[in-house]
Structure 1
Amino acid sequence: MDLQLDEKLVFRNISTQSDLDTLAFLADALLENGYVTNEYKEAIQQREKEYPTGLPSSLPAVAIPHANYEMVKKTTLAIATLERPVLFHNMENNKESIEIQIVIMMAIGEPHGQVEMLQKIVGIIQDEPLREQMVKASSDKELLELLKKAIA
């Protein structure tokens, strides 16, 4: 999988009001930088309603939204840490909500690439000290380096 990580898709301490607001912010950044098609934003928001992406874990918790590979022009990840956690529905139980503070949006342009990337992201989810470092990163560049190291 040819993954390009781009500093233009790294956002620290953004302030959003909801899960859909957060998804729109990251999807817009992916579109503006030529990684996805126009349909991606609506698709990712619709998918979140049907298949939530909040992962149960210790805090800071992570959400890993993604949409169909056919809407992706170039494979990448967009990441945001949130100034204040927002509620995402629990991937394992749609009736529960989780306070999410890290969102890693996957834009994977290959049919089977999502499974491969999910396996790498699970390492981040299982590493509480790494998640804390991500939330405390002092610059977008530092956050990008932490992400690179985590999925290398």
Structure 2
Amino acid sequence: MYMSETAIESLFDPKIVYVSSGTTRQEVFEEVSNDLVAKGYVKDTFLDNLNSREDAYPTGMDLSVVGSQYPNVAIPHTEANFVYKRRIVPVKLENPIEFHNMIEPSKTMSVRFLFMILNNDPEGQANVLAEIMDFLTQTPWDRLSHMFESDSAEEIYNFLRDNFDEK
């Protein structure tokens, strides 16, 4: 599937790409959520719902099934009524953070990168998740590794802008 430049720009916004030095899930969620509220992307109730939803429905993904070199990621999200705009919010974690596994919730994993989904369309959550998974599994590792290794929000945004549509 090819996405136009306008579709890419509607999914990613350079003002909401983060590199976080937080050391816990709650710390990172609070840091990102506070900024998203301030910038008008989400409602004040977003953070509480994000945490409770992550507790009930973990989003950690073991990408070693794609390749042993891939870091684990998490794809936290919440219901549409807590969100004003549809975006994917990339968050590079400077410190690995424990998330529960989406497939086996009793297991935890160390995560290095988040793709937080903001979706104001209740029907569209699965589509965005599928697009992220396609991107992660279909982008060659020699290119994808640049995004995972970058400590620059601008570089991460530029990589996603240039590569997310290459399916």
TM-score norm. by structure 1 comes to: 0.89
Secondary structure in structure 1 of the residue aligned to 2:41:
coil
Partner of residue 32 from structure 1, selected from 33, 38, 48: 38
User: Does the CA contact (< 8 Å) of 1:26 and 1:79 recur in 2?
Assistant: no
Q: Does 1:125 align with 2:142?
A: no
Matched residue type, 2:77: H
- Tell me the SS of whatever aligns to 1:124: helix
In structure 2, the partner of 1:140 is 153
Query: CA-to-partner distance for each residue in 1:84-119, whole Å, 9 max, x for gaps?
Result: 211100001111111100011111111111111111
* Shift of residue 131, structure 1, vs aligned partner: 4.3
Using the size of structure 2 for normalisation, the TM-score is 0.81
Structure 1 distance, partners of 2:79, 2:142, is 31
Question: Which has the higher mean CA deviation after the structures are superposed, 93-102 or 2-11?
Answer: 2-11
Flag the 1:119–1:8 CA change in 2: closer, same or farther, 3 A.
same
Q: Which residue of 1 aligns with 2:93?
A: 82
CA distance in 2, matches of 1:131, 1:61: 13
Between the aligned residues of both structures, percent identity stands at 26
Superposed, 1:2-151 pairs within 5 Å as 3-12=10-19, 14-58=20-64, 59-126=70-137, 127=139, 128-137=141-150, 139-151=152-164
Between structure 1 and structure 2, the one with the greater Rg is 2
Instruction: Work out the CA distance in 1 between the residues paired with 2:87 and 2:93.
Output: 20
Alpha carbon RMSD of aligned pairs, Å? 1.9
Tell whether the 8 Å contact from 1:78 to 1:105 is kept in structure 2 after alignment: yes
Unmatched 5+ stretches in structure 2: 1-6, 65-69
Between the two proteins, the alignment pairs up a number of residues equal to 151
Aligned-partner residue type, residue 16 of structure 2: L
